Structure formats: C-alpha cells, structure tokens
Structure 1
C-alpha cells in the first residue's frame, strides 16, 4: 500500500539584525539558505524584524518598500552627516531611526561623551518628514550617542530653551541643568497636525537609578561623575516640562530611551511610546506569515535574560507560541538565565559559533555560520517529526 505523501512544510524565518555584522534581511536570507538545504521542498517565508533599535530603517525600506530620503543633518557631535528617513507616500507615513542621525556609531570611540552630544539631527529628520506632508511618524529609539532629553530634537522643531538670563541653552546633556524656561512660540506649524509614535525596546524611566543616565550613560562614555551630572540635568528638565508644558513623562516606562529622547518626544511632540517589537511585527505582517507554518526560526546577536524585555526574538516566539508553532532561536552568544524564554515560546536556542572563535571572525563569517546552523536546526526538527510519526 502506497504511503500518502505529506504536504510540504512551511518555515517562517524572522530574525533581528545581528549588530555590527548582519542586517535582519541578510540574516533571513542566510537562514533560509540553510533551511532549504535540509528541506528543499519546504515553503519558506522571510519576515525580517526589528525591535525599535538598529535596523528599523532597513526593515521599512527592504520589507515595506519605503522610499529612501537622504538628508544632510547635524550629527551627534555637531558635524554634518548624511542620514536617511523612510517614506511611504501612500500612507503619508515617515519612519525615522534616530541612530542614523544621532547614533553612537557616528562617534569615534575616543570621542564618546553623552554630555556633549545632541539629538538635533533627529529633529532635522522630523522637519524633513513634515515637509513631505507626513501625517504619521514612527521614530525608533535605540543606538543613541546622546543624553540630552530630546532638547536637541525639540530645538530643531522650534522650541526654545533659555537660562535664567534669557539666553539660549546649547542642546546637549551638559546644559540640561541650566534650563530655566521652555518656550514653544516658534514651533513648526505642522507639528501639532502629525501623529507621532516613539518605538522603544527598553522600559527605563527618565531619571533615577534605572534612568537614562545611570543605565545607558556608561555605555556611551560617561564617567560616574558625568552620570550624576546628567541625571541631575534630566531631573531639572523634568521639572521644567511639568511647569512650562504641563507634561510629566519622568517616570513613564521608556521615557529614558535614547538618552531621554522618549520623554522628549512625549513632551514636545505629544508622542505615544510603543513597544518596538510588537509594532514592527504588525507592520511586517508576521501574523499573516505564521498561518499554516510548521516552524519559526528567529535570530539575534545575543540571546539572554534581557531578551524577554521587549526584544524582537521574544516577541516573535510569543506569537508563534500563541499559534502553537515551535520556535527556535539562533544567536552569536547565549547568555545565562534563558530558562524564562522557554516558557514564552522560544523552545530552544542554538549558538551559531562552531567552537571557540574570535568575535571578529564570527562577525566576518556571520552569514555562513547562520546558514550552517539553520541547516542543522532544521535537520533536528525533521528528525523529531520522523520520530513522532513512527510513534503514531
């Protein structure tokens, strides 16, 4: 008696970018190539994802088909840089990745100091979006070099920050403590008409032990003394926001994202803070891609206990779990205490490293290693299915 042929399997490939080495789209292509070697007949659906940090712009352009708009803006150290925004004219939607204008990658390691950097260029990108006629702005907060509470961004939009003598305050973190008054009389005429959503993957408040300066300042080059100064400045900014703008974002989760830009967008642009991964998964249509899928593969540079806190692989895994689909993660590094992820839909995690290997080599060979690991993951999945069928 002839055996009935099983329908081809369907795999969803939904990786995040692997920082410094591989974009989400490139990772998806590499994972798919490995999966095809193990299962040539499988249907493979590529859904690169992001969580609001690095990679949002690329997802918008490569997955959503947005137009790339290049703009010359003020970089984080006040030197001019070329940045891009993504523009979807039919939806009147602009997508901005703040790191492209105000990011840490734009500052040489020996020059990093969040007391002296600005989000002015991010505000200039917003102005460009307004000039295009944007009705909705999505702004990704992540990878910043800044700790200015968003006053650089707001200055580009026409807000004025004045000291006790009525003089303008330079829009950098070191000057936050000098702000005595905020004026909004000169703001961009189209700003009140646009809906702004700030996408973040952290839950830090603006100030305090878990705030923007304390948690992220050292990563951007701040000494302990500088961290204290920056936090005091953000506290002063929070008080001015309460007094002058009747806005109190200080303790809102996510307000500390991108050096306080989360709070700044709330106060100066009436922005809504959104968990980045969930919003991006909706944008790229992950739910539709999951229909009828047999396996989901996701990936990121590092999967650890922090992955559960709003990172893209955890969000992908949760949606796969909701639909009863196994989900396996692949990472360059696997941290401690990942057990909690298994209960959230990430059924297993594999390292892409074949053995002891230098980080520089892993980054250089990342697509090859992703492909090889994906092949072995899928072969293990197929072996498990074969065993289950025999048991039946």
Structure 2
C-alpha cells in the first residue's frame, strides 16, 4: 500500500460516520515524531520494520504527498502525527482527533509521580532502546520524573542499539541490555528468560555495591 500513496489525488470525507462529528477522540501517542520528514514516521520507524533505504525514501514521499492533501491541520509539524506509522496523523486529519502524550495520560491515571517520589530506586524497561526512546517512549518519561525528584532510574532493555546518551541527560542512571548484540535469530523463551535474569542480576549487584547509582 505504501508504494501507492503518491497516486492518491483526492481524499473524500463524505462517507465518514456522522456520529464522528460529535465525538471527542483522544489518541495517546508514545512518540512525538511528525508525519513525514527526517524525523517522521518513515525515516524513524520503517527501518525497524524491515524497509530498505529506497523503500523508506518512497514511503516518506508518499506520506508527504498525503500531508499536502490534508488542509485542516499541518501533519508535517504536528507532534505525534508520526506515531504508529502515521496513524496518529490519520486520527487527527480524518477523525478530528486530539493527539496527546500517552505517557502523561497513563502516568497521571496511575499516580506514577507520587509513587516515584516515595520510592528509593526505580527500574524501567522496554524491548529495544535506541534513538527513538528519547522521543517520548515510556523509559524517557519515567527517567524525567525520576530526575525531577532526585531518584535513581535503572533501565533494563531487551537490547540497546546506537547512542542513547540523551537518555542519561534525561535521568537514566544506568542501562543494561539482556542481549548485548542484536541477534539474527530471536532467542527461545528459556534463553530470553535466562538473559533477562542475568541482566537483572547484574543491575541488582551494581545497586547493592553502590546505593547512589
């Protein structure tokens, strides 16, 4: 479908369910990336899904074309419109939805900040930590709250890829990967559990040796 985006000439909204006009739709976005461009959905996320450099270039051109057809909002600059491969932008443009920071909404519902304030050490994690993480992913949000309240924040990730130094500036104290190198073949459940245990054990030993980390 991505290769046909540039062929779209017109977007017809006339058959949308009439009830949508009176509905207030809120989308919780886990990233702040815009719809297209170097920080947009294609260039930031498509490689992770297996797209080649040429495919990414074409996908971005298609998304830019769609953003040019949309007149009720500026998808090129709208934070979160690149979330979920551009789904955020679709919700905003075609359903009149409001894009909000998902971490802020969920953390507020959970009372996360108060829990962090009353904790000694916070451990967070995700499947893969890379340059995308600092763009609004959960560990980034947790680390900022920890930094605001002077709490150590430990990150345990499935793997760490590339430079994650911005996360240390945001409040991550130390980071551990269950798999040091991204594997060509995914580990089975037992191997994954053992790797997670090993990473958690190392983190626990470091915490035990230096309670100020």
User: TM exceeds 0.5?
Assistant: yes
Q: Which residue of 2 aligns with 1:260?
A: 86
Q: Distance in 1 between matches of 2:181 and 2:7?
A: 50
More strand by share: 1
For the structure 1 residues 300 and 229, does the alpha-carbon distance in structure 2 shift closer, same or farther, using more than 3 Å as the test? closer
| Residue 179 (structure 1) aligns with | 9
| Mapping of residues 51-200 of structure 1, within 5 Å | 116=1, 147=2, 174-184=4-14, 186-200=15-29
> Residue by residue, what CA displacement relative to the aligned partner does 1:110-163 show, whole Å, maximum 9, x if unpaired?
xxxxxx2xxxxxxxxxxxxxxxxxxxxxxxxxxxxxx5xxxxxxxxxxxxxxxx
How far residue 230 of structure 1 moved from its aligned partner, in angstroms, is: 4.0
Look up the SS of the partner of 1:253 in the other structure.
coil
The whole-number CA distance in structure 1 between the counterparts of 2:57 and 2:182 is: 39
Structure 1 355/337 Cα, relative in aligned 2: closer, same or farther at 3 Å?
Answer: closer
In 1, are the aligned partners of 2:159 and 2:181 still within 8 Å (CA)? no
Relative to structure 1, is the Cα distance of residues 296 and 353 closer, same or farther in structure 2, using a 3 angstrom cutoff?
same
1:238 aligns with 2:67: yes
Q: Deviations over 1:312-335 (max 9, x none)?
A: 112112112222221111123233
Q: 1:183: how far off?
A: 3.4
Unaligned runs of 5+ residues in structure 1 are 1-115, 117-146, 148-172
Report the Cα offset of residue 296 of structure 1. Answer: 0.8
Q: Which residue number corresponds to residue 74 of structure 2? A: 248
User: How far apart are 1:349 and its partner, in Å?
Assistant: 1.3
- After TM superposition, give the deviation of residue 224 of structure 1 in Å: 5.5
Please point out which of 15, 35, 44 is paired with 1:206.
Answer: 35
Distance in structure 2 (CA, Å) of the matches to 1:178 and 1:357: 39
Q: Tell me, in whole angstroms, the C-alpha distance in 2 between the residues paired with 1:323 and 1:313.
A: 15
Aligned equivalent of 1:277: 103
Q: Quote how far apart the aligned CAs of 1:363 are.
A: 5.6
Q: Which structure has the bigger radius of gyration?
A: 1
Q: Deviations over 1:294-352 (max 9, x none)?
A: 11111223334442221211211211222222111112323343333223221111233
Q: Is it true that 1:349 corresponds to 2:156 in the alignment?
A: no
Please tell me whether the aligned partners of residues 305 and 336 of structure 1 are also in contact (alpha carbons under 8 angstroms).
yes
Q: Which runs of 5+ in 2 are unaligned?
A: none
CA distance in 1, matches of 2:44, 2:133: 17
Native 8 Å contact 2:5 2:66 kept in 1: no
Task: Report the CA distance between 1:287 and its aligned residue.
Answer: 1.9
What is the TM-score of this pair, normalised by structure 1? 0.46
Compute the TM-score of the two structures, normalised by the length of structure 2: 0.78
- Aligned partner of 2:148 in structure 1 is 322
Q: More helix by proportion, 1 or 2?
A: 2
SS class of match (2:21): helix
Aligned length: 212
Distance in 1 of aligned mates of 2:53 and 2:169? 37
Secondary structure at 1:283 match in 2: helix
| Secondary structure of 1:299's aligned partner | strand
Residue in 2 that maps onto 1:298: 124
